[in-house]
Amino acid sequence: MANKKDNNNFIPTIAIAPGETIRENMVFLGMNQKELAARLDITTKHLSNILNGNAPITYDTALKLESVIGPSAQFWMNLETNYQLNKARLEEQEKLTDDLNKLKDIPYKEMSEFGWVKETSDRRERVFNCRSFFGVAELGSVEPSYSVAFRKQKEIKEISDLGVLAWIRRAETEALNIDVDKFNRRKLKSLIPIFREMTMKQPDEFFPEMQRLCAECGIVLLLIPYIPKTYICGATIWRNDKAILALSGMGKRSDGFWFTLFHELAHLINHSGKKSHISYDNDKQEDEADLEARNYLISEEQYRFFIDNYNCKLKSNIVEYSEEIGIAPFVLLGRLQYDQYVGYQHHRELIPPFDINDIIGKVQ
């Protein structure tokens, strides 16, 4: 006798519709389709659909078949149930084959290393784990399920679309059980000077405090490890009226981390509506967020004053002026490097590395 596990693993090669058995009985009884339809009190068209597997045998039809052909209504219902189950199994097998092909586009190795999915070398198990992770019946549904919230990102290098969505999904699931106050744009804007001062603190010191302040403004602030080939620095995600601000720490530079943070804050403060944003999208609102982030960190007036009155290439001037305006020197240096006033090879010691993987365990 086959055990339960064997039954669960059974994959039929074909699904045979009950209509085949009805046809065999029609031949045995010498009935044509028109006569059988009349005896069953159904239309010829409906009988044709049953014979071809396009219409199911209902309880009512099963009782009629019991009277006209025999042997029992249960017999016909069992045939119908087995047919529908085998058909579903064949369809599921086809979906599984498609999903196995999609696995190559999913960064499963990194996801398992981060503990997002269970580590396994079994490809079928990987498919099931990914379906559960993304909350979909089949992996082909992942991208369509996010198409409303996120535009398809611009094509850069060999970007991993499913890697990006895995990163976003992780941020969503982490945020589900985190309670925050109602979103308050005015309060968030008032905290910009406080966030700015935090650039001079160590990550394990400033980040818990920043998370708390963001929660009071209705924002879940998260660090989500960077996934290769996603090129995603951060995102603002809206789910169930909850704002999620997630940062990847891509590049592992402190100036990049802070710029991305203020870029996402700019979206929440200046762009009305609960629209999700990925930090590398290329549109008007992204350009606006870039400009606001620059000004939040160092106002245009402060920046121009430094350029016009200091030798901006000197390390001592960068440090002195940063202290004067109350910002970490790496923020000013990063902006000078971006604007090509200072080469990226200069004063590297002013820009401490920022690896979120080193602090996630401490602050989350």
Residue 6's pLDDT is: 43
Backbone phi and psi for residue 243, each to the nearest 5 degrees, phi listed first: -90, 130
pLDDT value of position 322: 96
pLDDT value, residue 97: 87
- For helices 59-68 and 73-102, the axis angle rounded to 10 degrees is 130
Name the strands in the sheet holding 277-278, side by side, starting at the edge strand that comes first in the sequence: 219-223, 242-247, 234-239, 277-278
Question: Which token pair is 341?
Answer: 């006033």
At 352, list the tokens: 């401490």
Residue 157 pLDDT: 59
State how far the alpha carbon of 207 is from the alpha carbons of 101, 199, 225, 289, in Å.
40, 10, 15, 22
Instruction: Fill in the amino acid letter for 300.
Output: E
CA dist., res. 120 & res. 65, Å (int): 50
Tell me the C-alpha distance between 167 and 299, whole Å: 32
Q: Is 247 helix (H, G, I), strand (E, B) or coil?
A: strand
CA distances from 36 to 26, 29, 75 (A): 8, 10, 18
The confidence score (pLDDT) of residue 292 equals 94
pLDDT score for 88? 84
Beta bridge partners of 247: 223, 234
pLDDT at 1: 36
Q: Kindly state the helix (H) or strand (E) to which residue 246 belongs, with its residue range.
A: strand 242-247
Q: What is the pTM of this model?
A: 0.75
For the chain, list residues with pLDDT below 50.
Answer: 1-7, 151-153
